[in-house]
Amino acid sequence: MIVDIKDIKKRYSELESLFPNVFTIGGIESDLENNPFSHYLVYMKNDSIIGFINYYDIYDRMEIANFNVLDDYQNEGIGNILLKRVIELSKGKENITLEVRCDNVKAIHLYEKYGFIKKAVRKNYYNGVDGLLMEMRLMKDVYVLGIESSCDETSFSIVKNGVEEIATVISSQIDIHKDYGGVVPEIASRAHVKNITFVIEELLEKSKMTMDEIDMVAVANGPGLIGSLLVGLEAAKTIAWLYNKPLIPVHHIAGHIYANNLVKRLEFPLICLVISGGHTELVYMDKDYSFKKLGGTLDDAVGECFDKVGKVMGVEYPAGPKIDKMAKIGSHTYDLPLPLNDDSYNFSFSGLKSAVINLVHNEEQRGNEINKEDLATSFQETVVEILAKKTVHAIVNYDVKNLILAGGVSANSGIRDRMKEISEARGINFTCPEIKYCTDNAAMVAAAGYYAYLDGRRADFTLNARSSMELESDISWFFNENMI
Ligand code: KG4
Ligand code: ZN
């Protein structure tokens, strides 16, 4: 819990004795009397003071004067919490400044994580140790450049403040891969290399902006095809280095989720049904950029299932959109099993896929003709049924205000209609991404990047691509590997 020291019976002497190297006895009281700008926030645990931050609120700017956490409580994230509070209190101001000993590497890293930049060095300021002046510019409007290349789309976009799309360019490789019935990783990465500079040029033309006007670079660094991811990541690092902009790593699925934010600001708490070519998950969010996975597929992803079922029906890759169209014409005549029809939040689609494949083969052997439209309807309605059941379960259990869809399969009309119905029946809001932003694009990455930035996520140039990574709030691996 964070409190202003004036609100806890002025326990000045307690704070002074806990940090004898920082304060002299009576120092806080006299500071508060003589300096109307000065404030002390203390972090309390079981009514004991654990740490504090002393800041000056000076009209249109903030200054952090002192900041300390007891030795026994270092590494518990208390410094983060105190600093975050001061950043929140600084909303609408021009900047936050501070001074730190040059040898206090840990503190410098923490400040950098939140976007403070090294401004100047004061020689010998701390009795033989140099002082480092740092500043965080509090930008009014934030323009994020988003980069997406995790599968077979090369895309760049600029989004303002996480909600307003300025311009987006998507170069799709579907025509190259459809002859193979799926994405060929080696061909995909080569195509990204070939396309990427053209996509950047087109974006700058379309947006009428220059790289200097962009505030940060957000890149989807995973999960996805490693060779494809690396092309976008290298472009992101190059731009961030060349134009001296912060580099923000974004989880590809966080991107899909934030495609909704471009339609309507997310409302919390919410449930997101993530349905794409590689993922099928139910995710709970109680605030921005905080993800809790409730359950996921035990085998195939729903998009993969659409594509494989399409293949056996002779439908071109990607089969999802075509099956969706056929399903509108047919009727539900084929009996298919409802997969993993239990009370968990998990899914399973391989059984359903096999059931369709077996049905087609059996009918072929008997010399019967399959009615493809009827099969498409039967298959799609079975998928909708199981997705709806698990989603309702999550909405009710978590008492949420908003249901959202994410991923390529959220373009499916049957799924969209059913989820809308479910939400209306329960009086909660329903949002789905624009059809063009259901599949992979960089606008979603730029939107998510803005909230990742507000959450303090930054990377240095050692940032690597990851073919698999969990969509969770825990990013401890990331701080160890990739923080400056
Ligand atoms: O999100 P996405 O572009 O790629 C991944 O990150 O996986 O999703 C692609 C998937 C493909 O499997 C495609 O068949 C499916 O989304 N898809 C659809 C529809 N439109 C795209 N599936 C069902 N109905 C649709 N209308
Ligand atoms: Zn995707």
Structure-model confidence comparison of residues 481 and 202, the more confident one: 202
Relative to the CA of 279, which ligand 1 atom is closest? 7
Query: Is residue 315 scored above 80 in pLDDT?
Result: yes
Backbone angles phi, psi at 240, to 5 degrees: -60, -40
Which residue's C-alpha comes closest to atom 2 of ligand 1?
A: 408
**pLDDT tens digits, one per residue of 166-183:** 999 998 877 777 777 777
From residue 284, alpha-carbon distances to 294, 330, 364, 385, 427 in Å are 7, 35, 44, 21, 18
Mean pLDDT of 314-318: 89
Q: Distance between CA atoms of 30 and 101, rounded to whole angstroms? A: 25
- Segment 248-306, tens digit of pLDDT: 999 999 999 999 999 999 999 999 999 999 899 999 999 899 999 999 999 999 999 99
Cα gap 335→322, rounded to integer Å: 21
Higher-pLDDT residue of 244, 432: 432
**Distance from the alpha carbon of residue 218 to the mean position of ligand 1, in angstroms:** 23
Tokens (6 digits) for 423: 């939400």
Are 258 and 248 in contact by the 8 Å Cβ rule? The answer is: no
Check whether 477 has a pLDDT greater than 60: no
Least confident of 155-159, 190-194, 346-350: 190-194
Indicate the average pLDDT of the chain.
92
Give the closest ligand to the alpha carbon of residue 409.
1
Ligand 2 centroid from CA 332, angstroms: 29
Atom of ligand 1 nearest to the CA of 407: 1
- Residue 475: is its pLDDT beyond 60? no
Ligand 1 closest atom vs CA 303? 12
pLDDT at position 314 over 50: yes
HEC letters along 232-270: HHHHHHHHHHHCCCCEEEEEHHHHHHHHHHHCCCCCCCE
pTM (2 decimals)? 0.76
Give residue 252 CA to ligand 2 midpoint distance, Å: 6
* Letter string b/e over residues 157-174, b meaning 16 or more CB atoms within 10 A of that residue's CB: bbbbebeebbbbbbbbbe
Contacts of residue 112, defined as CB under 8 A and 6 or more positions apart, other chains included, come to 458, 483, 484
28 within 8 A of 11, measured Cβ to Cβ: no
The per-residue pLDDT for range 420-460, each reduced to its tens digit, is 999 999 999 999 999 999 999 999 999 999 999 887 788 88
Bridge partners (DSSP) of residue 64 are 55, 98
Confidence class for position 185, pLDDT limits 50, 70, 90: confident
Is residue 164 pLDDT above 80, yes or no? Answer: yes
Measured from the alpha carbon of residue 321, the closest ligand is: 1
Q: Predicted confidence band at 217 (pLDDT cuts at 50, 70, 90)? A: very high
Percent of the chain predicted with pLDDT > 70: 97
For residue 440, which atom of ligand 1 is closest to its CA? 3
Residue 115 is predicted with a pLDDT of: 82
The closest alpha carbon to 288, from 454, 52, 84, belongs to: 454
Q: Is the peptide bond before 318 cis (omega within 30 degrees of 0)?
A: yes
Q: Which ligand is nearest to the CA of 416?
A: 1
Token pair, residue 243, equals 């134009």
Measured from CB, residues less than 6 Å from any atom of ligand 1 are 151, 276-278, 303, 306-307, 318-321, 324, 407-409, 411-412, 439-440
Name which residue sits closest to atom 4 of ligand 1, judged by CA. 277
Whether the predicted pLDDT of 479 surpasses 50? no
